[in-house]
Structure 1
Amino acid sequence: MKKIELIVLKLRDFKGIKSLDIQLDGGNAQIFGDNEVGKTTTFDAFLWLLFDKDSNNKKDFAIKTLNGDGSERHNLEHTVEGTFLVDGTAITLKKIYKEKWTKKRGQAVAEFTGHVVEHFVDEVPMSKKDFTAKVESIVDEEVFKLLTSPTYFNEQLKWQEKRKLLLEICGDISDEEVIASNTSLAKLNDLLNGKSLEDMKKIITSKKKHINEELEKIPVRIDEINKMLPETTVDVETIRQQVAKIEANIEELQEQKIRVKNGSSVLDKQRQLQDLEMKSSELKRTFEADSIQEINKLQVRVQEAQGNVQIIQSEIKHKENYKNSKEIELQQLSQDIQHIENQLVELRKEWAHHNNAQFEYEDKCECPSCKQELPQEQVEAARNEALAQFNEEKARKLSAVNEKGKSLAQEKERKVSRHNEVNNDLFSANMELDTTKNKLETAQKELAKYQDKLKQAQTSVPDVTATDEYKSINLQIETLQAEIEQLNEHASEAIAGIDEEIDKLNFERKECNSAIAQHANIEASKERIIELEDQQVKLAQEYEKLEQTTFLIEEFIRTKVNMLTDRINSKFKYARFKLFDTQVNGGLNEVCETTYKGVPYGTGLNNAAKINVGLDIINTLSAHFGIQAPIFVDNAEAVTKFIDVDTQLISLVVSEKDKQLRVEVEGQQPMLKEAI
């Protein structure tokens, strides 16, 4: 068990308190004072020293001392220092909150630019990070607040945080333990099927919502279907027989129509017409056969000649592109060679300039500092050293020029060699291009020759239509076509009458089929109503099953909460905890509310009961975390008797007669402390 005791707490210019030293030496104490004298300020200072927050868990609270008009008093160091005994080892923590004044360049007066906080541990300055780490090594912030204020657990923590902390103290109860304690929950594992209670509750809620929506829609759908059903019924079997009779009549009329259209005289003349047309085509094909064959041969020759021309043209284009690229490369090489020659000329000038350079030296016979004449050997040594440096630098420059000249000469040699190669390539390319152009000229002449022959052959084809035989056959064809047209006109009148009868029968069949379709829709609607009614029953049954599962889950929660409540309450002497609320519909809501003798902490307890319940909670938390820390009890005048606690207790008591803070430590004489 780690034990933390407050030995002394010192305040300087903190929240209006100019100077205050509270010597506790680890003992229980009472701090008396009238309202606004500074009792709560001592607790604020204590927490700010450790965690940068006041007793209301706020960071942005006013630390600075104010003037009478409410303005801030400047140039003060707001200091809190506390000495603690941690498991018998003393440690002193100190923080100073002060203004930062900065004098900008060109200004005579410093300006206020913000605040800084200085941190000390045992008088050793530290960064905020190291200071915080030191405090955390003593105790965690949240744990310390829980252990130092009897109201923090009940008034600062959210109910979810309180519930979580209580479960950490007493340990959670497994689902298996809960189910084993109540035989009515035996089926729950099978219903959950591996899912958590929360997930199953969400699933059930979603399903019930969906079922309710469907159950609301089904009566509306049934009513809509009933409204659409016609009041009269039809004899569907009689209508089907009528449709069969109509279709038989239509089929008979279609056959009659074909017989009229395909009369025997028309068929004979159509066969004669086909024979004559075939005879005409055969005469034309035979008459033109030789000429057509010659034309086909010439067309093949023309296509071959055109292909040769295109191939040679493509070859010429390729060779011209190659020639152009060589000409461009040759021009670039010539420019490069000229540029290199220009560079070589400049290098020769540079070499001559460096080579002709003469050593110049001004003998300095006196010391530049004391102006005394230097020894002759020292002057000579300086001159020789300068000459050596001159010669070395001259040789280096000449060598650099030579190296660059060699490199450029080699580069020129490569460029000239490549220039000769490209020049030869260009000569060959021109020769090949001329040869290919000659080939193109020959191929074009060949193409023109065959094109002329083809044109002559096409104009010399004999005209079959001028022969007597062709004219005779064509006259017979025209006579037969006229006779067939006349016969078809008489058949069209008969066919039109048949089509009119067929249209009437099709309309009657359509009306009958509409009646049959309407009957089918009525039957389908009736079947749909039956389906919806069955669905309504199934959904109601499914909803009932979900309600049963919901009841089991709520019974499980109720059982677990009762077990948890008993286990948690057994850890406390006075405090009791309500962990769930029963809703109007019988469901359970998880909560965490502290009670004392059945009275809720937030609505019915007086201050004395709240403080003692808080102290009871601190006793349990202290044992759980293994830490004993000083407890600050504000408004302690409300309590006539505190419950027993095993740690240092500092009571802040309102006393109208005490216009200055008065500290009474057990076993010590009362002390008056200046607080304003």
Structure 2
Amino acid sequence: MKKIELVVLKLRDFKGIKSLDIQLDGGNAQIFGDNEVGKTTTFDAFLWLLFDKDSNNKKDFAIKTLNGDGSERHNLEHTVEGTFLVDGTAITLKKIYKEKWTKKRGQAIAEFTGHEVEHFVDDVPLSKKAYTAKVNEIVEEETFKLLTSPTYFNEQMKWQEKRQLLLEICGDISDEEVIASNTSLAKLNDLLNGKSLEDMKKIIASKKKHINDELEKIPVRIDEINKMMPETAVDVEKMRTQVAQIEKDIEELQEQKIRVKNGASVLDKQRQLQELEMKRSDLKRTFEADSIQEVYKAQTKLQEVQGNIQIINSKLQQADNNRKFKVDEANQIQNNIGCLTKEMDELREKFYVVDKEQFHFEDNCNECPTCKQSLPDEQVKAARDEAQAQFNERRTMRLADIQREGGTRKEQVEQLNDRLTTLRNEHDAAVEEMNKYQDDLSVQDKELMKAQKALETANSTVKDVTTTNEYKSINLQIEALQAEIKQLNEHAYEAVAGIDEEIVKLNYERKECNNAIAQHANIEASKERIIELEDQQIKLAQEYEKLEQTTFLIEEFIRTKVNMLTDRINSKFKYARFKLFDTQVNGGLNEVCETTYKGVPYGTGLNNAAKINVGLDIINTLSAHFGIQAPIFVDNAEAVTKFIDVDTQLISLVVSEKDKQLRVEVEGQQPILKEAI
């Protein structure tokens, strides 16, 4: 069993409390104080130190101290420090919440740019990630809140989470155990067919909704069908006989109409007209055949010459671009040669200056700089010889360096001159290539003029067939035949118009008969549809009844399992009891998780004292389950005259009107006044 005890809790400028130290030394304590003195703030500070949240599980609560007008007081460090004993080993956690002030470039005054939090473990600064990991090594957040607040389980957890936690504590009951305990559930396994209860409940709910929707729609559909059916009956056979006769009459009138429109004289005239039109087309095709071929040849030649000119122009442009590239590169090389030549001249001048340098030796340097006595002549001569040798060596090295640099630049100039010679040759080759393309272009320009002239000549030789006497004669014959056909058709129009009127009347009569036949077919189809809907209604009702039976078995299973679970869960607690389902008006079950004490629901009728003691009872069981004992903070503890026994550190926050500053009473110690400044 891991044991966590709070030794001391220190607050500095936290939620309006300037300075507060609470020395508990791991013992049970009562913290007395009037409203707004800072009792709950101590619990908020305790939880913020560990998990960045207050006692209401909020992360964005106000930490900073406020001025009298409600504005925030700046440049304060809001600090909470707590020392704990974890299985007898001390560990100190500290967090500092402070403002960030940044001086931007060019500004003399720093600006407020936000907040930051510093984290410490045993005075060692850590990152937020490392600090959180250290806290989690002590205890996980959700578990710690469950073990430190009597109200957290009942007032801040969702009922699904509470139910899941209770099942973890007592252990779940297998479906086989539940079914074995109640013989009426024997059929349930077959009905589930390998599916889970939750999945089957969803399937049943979906099917029942679908069936109900369909059952609601069926009477409406039947009523709509009845309203749409006509009341009058139709003699279908008589209507069909009448339609057959009408269609026969229409067919005869159509044949009569064709005979009138296509009289023998009209057909003969139309045949003659087709022959003349074919003769005119043949004449035009034969007349133009020879001369048009010459036009096609001239057009082909013109297109060929235009293509050649385009190709030569492209090559000429490419050669010119190549020439320009050579010119640009040659100009750049000339510039580089000029720069290198200038550098070589400077190096020659430098070589001349260095070569002319002479060695100078001061004759007054023949005394000791320390004792000021004259040095021996041989020592002075040796020093002069050494200095002159060093001078000559340095000058020789400098001259060699200058010669080496000059040689390097000379080699570069020679390489550039070689490249320049190559570029000039390539430039001349490009110019020669351009001249060749210019000559080719001149030749093709002449060919273009010849091709254009040939096309003009070919077009001028094409004769217009419409100007010939033969073509004109055929046109006159065609026009005469067209006039004759038009006159014959006009006489036939009157007869055809009368036949069309008769056909229109018969078509209307046939439509009326067909409508009557279709109406009869719709009536029969509607009657069959009503029978189908009534059969569907019966089948849906039967299917719904089967689903209801399966639902009853599932609910009976849940009821049995919940009763078994309830007994098992309640056996883990001394005072708290749990209601795990509600019986609905229709007899069904609704899963819940509600804490009760002596039959009174926690959320609707339980007083504060009972709520706190029930919460402590739950913490006792949870501590045993998780194997952790942690300090318990009891807010509004004045409501409880006697706490149930707990095996861990208990810190009670008691409202006391007479205590205008916090008063801490630790078991076995003298009361201490702790002013929350």
TM-score range for the pair, normalised by the shorter chain length? 0.7 to 0.9
SS class of match (2:671): strand
What is the CA distance between 1:169 and its match in structure 2? 0.9
2:353 to 355, 359, 371: 359
Question: What residue identity is the alignment partner of 1:591?
Answer: V
Residue pair 1:82, 1:94 contacting (<8 A) in 2 also: yes
8 A contact 1:91–1:122 mirrored in 2: no
Corresponding residue of 1:181 = 181
- Aligned-pair distance for 1:165? 1.4
Distance 2:111 2:477 in 1: 123
Report whether the alignment pairs 1:161 with 2:161.
yes
Equivalent residue, structure 1, for 2:674:
675
- Residue 535 and residue 376 in structure 1: after superposition, are their counterparts in 2 closer, same or farther (change >3 A)? farther
Confirm or deny: 8 A CA contact 2:578 2:593 kept in the other structure.
yes
Aligned 1:321-360 pairs, distance under 5 A: 321-330=314-323, 333-334=326-327, 336-337=329-330, 340-341=333-334, 343-345=336-338, 347-357=340-350, 358-359=352-353
Question: Residue in 2 aligned with 1:549?
Answer: 550
Secondary structure (helix, strand or coil) at the match of 2:219 reads helix
Structure 2: how far apart are the matches of 1:52 and 1:585?
47
Cα deviation per residue 1:8-67 (whole Å; 9 max; x = unaligned)?
Answer: 66678877596656454x55x453746457766665565555445555555667778999
Provide the secondary structure at the position in 2 that maps to 1:663: strand
Question: Partners in 2 of 1:463 and 1:60 — Cα distance?
Answer: 106
Q: TM-score, length-normalised on structure 2? A: 0.77
Structure 2: which amino acid aligns with 1:408? L
Question: Which residue matches 1:419?
Answer: 427
State whether residues 31 and 39 of structure 1, in contact with CA within 8 Å, keep that contact through their aligned partners in structure 2.
Answer: no
Q: State the SS of the aligned residue for 1:356.
A: helix
Letter in 1 for 2:422: R
Matching residue within 641, 662, 665 for 1:663: 665
Query: How far apart in 1 are the matches of 2:471 and 2:610?
Result: 132
Distance 1:80 1:325, change over 3 A: closer
Letter of the structure 1 residue corresponding to residue 429 of structure 2: E
Paired residue secondary structure (1:674)? strand
Measured after TM superposition, the shift of residue 151 of structure 1 is 3.3
Q: After TM superposition, give the deviation of residue 504 of structure 1 in Å.
A: 3.1
How far does the alpha carbon of each residue in 1:474-529 deviate from its partner, in whole angstroms, 9 at most, with x for none?
69x969996x8887776665555444433333332233223223333333333333
Identity in percent: 61
The match for 1:90 is 89
Residue 556 of structure 2 aligns to which amino acid in structure 1? E
Structure 2: which 5+ residue stretches go unaligned?
373-379
Matches within 5 A, 1:138-153: 138-153=138-153
Secondary structure at the aligned position of 1:511 is classed as helix
- Secondary structure of 2:580's counterpart equals strand
Letter paired with 1:420:
D
Aligned to 2:414: 406
Q: CA deviation at 1:570?
A: 1.8
Structure 1 residues 398 and 230: alpha-carbon distance in aligned structure 2, compared to 1, 3 A threshold: same
8 Å CA contact 2:465–2:471 kept in 1: the answer is no
Q: How far apart are the structure 2 equivalents of 1:450 and 1:602?
A: 110
Q: Which amino acid aligns with 1:249?
A: D
Question: How many angstroms apart in 2 are the aligned matches of 1:248 and 1:560?
Answer: 81
Distance 1:352 1:535, change over 3 A: same
SS of the counterpart of 1:603?
coil
Give the secondary structure class of the aligned counterpart of 1:581. Answer: strand
Q: CA deviation at 1:599?
A: 1.8
1:315-360 CA-partner distances (Å, limit 9, x unpaired): 2442344334434544554565455446545543442333233326
* Alpha-carbon distance change, 189 to 323 in structure 1, aligned in 2, over 3 angstroms: same
* Residue aligning to 2:4: 4
Query: Which stretch shifts more, 620-629 or 195-204?
Result: 195-204
Shift in alpha-carbon separation, 1:127–1:436, aligned structure 2, 3 A? closer
Which residue number corresponds to residue 616 of structure 1?
A: 617
SS in 1 for 2:227: helix
The separation in 1 between residues aligned to 2:121 and 2:431, in whole angstroms, is 91
C-alpha distance in 2, partners of 1:639/1:193? 54
Matched residue SS, 1:647 = coil
For residues 555 and 320 of structure 2, the distance between their equivalents in structure 1, rounded to whole angstroms, comes to 96
Q: Secondary structure at the match of 1:359?
A: helix
Match of 2:172 in 1: 172
Taking a change above 3 Å as real, the CA distance of residues 270 and 99 of structure 1, as seen in their structure-2 partners, is closer
Change (3 A) 1:653 1:500: closer
Seen in structure 2, the aligned counterparts of structure 1 residues 577 and 203 have a Cα distance that, compared at 3 Å, is: same
Letter in 2 for 1:244: A
Match of residue 593 from structure 1:
594
- Counterparts in 2 of 1:201 and 1:359: CA distance versus 1, 3 Å: farther
CA distance in 2, matches of 1:603, 1:435: 111
> How well do the aligned residues superpose, as a CA RMSD in angstroms?
5.1
Match of 2:30?
Answer: 31
Unaligned runs of 5+ in 1: none
Q: Deviations over 1:182-201 (max 9, x none)?
A: 34444444544554444444
Partner of 1:628: 629
- Residue deviations 1:70-97, cap 9 Å, x none? 999999988766554433x330425375
Give the secondary-structure state (helix, strand or coil) at the position aligned to 2:561. helix
Distance (Å, rounded) in 2 between the aligned partners of 1:68 and 1:496: 106
Instruction: Report Cα offsets for 1:354-381 as digits up to 9, x if no partner.
Output: 32333267979799xxx99997568657
Deviates more, 1:253-262 or 1:589-598: 253-262
- Quote how far apart the aligned CAs of 1:402 are: 1.9
Partner of 1:311 in structure 2?
Answer: 304
Measure the CA separation in 1 of the matches of 2:74 and 2:319: 89
Aligned to 2:353, the other structure's residue is in SS state: coil
Asked whether the 8 Å contact 1:99–1:112 carries over to 2, the reply is no
Change (3 A) 1:324 1:93: closer
What CA distance in whole angstroms lies between the structure 2 residues aligned with 1:441 and 1:109? 85
Superposed, 1:387-466 pairs within 5 Å as 387-388=395-396, 390-436=398-444, 455=463, 463=470
Structure 1 residues 181, 238: CA separation in 2 closer, same or farther (over 3 Å shift)? Answer: same
- Relative distance call for 1:349 and 1:104 in structure 2 (3 A) is closer
Q: CA deviation at 1:600?
A: 1.8
Q: Could you tell me how far 1:115 is from its partner in structure 2?
A: 8.2
